[in-house]
Amino acid sequence: HPASFTSSMIMSADHPGLTFSLRLIRSEPTYNQPVQQWSFMSDFAVRDYSGTYTVKLLPCTTPSHQE
């Protein structure tokens, strides 16, 4: 089913006003089981970053005959 969001994002119920920058650190581009390592950094400085974060990565899907 299609994703209900239009871009990858980090969300925090504990800090609803915070936004984050996502950055791809490492990628192993195997087709069947790709491995990626991501980091995210807050766009704003706050005193306490504790809490639960939700990471939503929008998949990039391609037909099986394409790289």
Domain boundaries defined on the chain:
9-56
Element (H, E) at 41: strand 35-42
Q: Supply the pTM of this predicted model.
A: 0.64
Cβ contacts of 5 within 8 Å, gap of 6 or more: 56, 58
Confidence class for position 5, pLDDT limits 50, 70, 90:
low
Q: Does residue 66 or residue 18 have the better pLDDT? A: 18
pLDDT digits (tens, 9 = 90+) for 6-63: 788 999 999 988 999 999 899 887 777 778 899 999 999 999 999 999 999 888 777 7
Report the pLDDT value the prediction gives residue 27, as an integer from 0 to 100: 86
Tokens coding 18: 């915070």
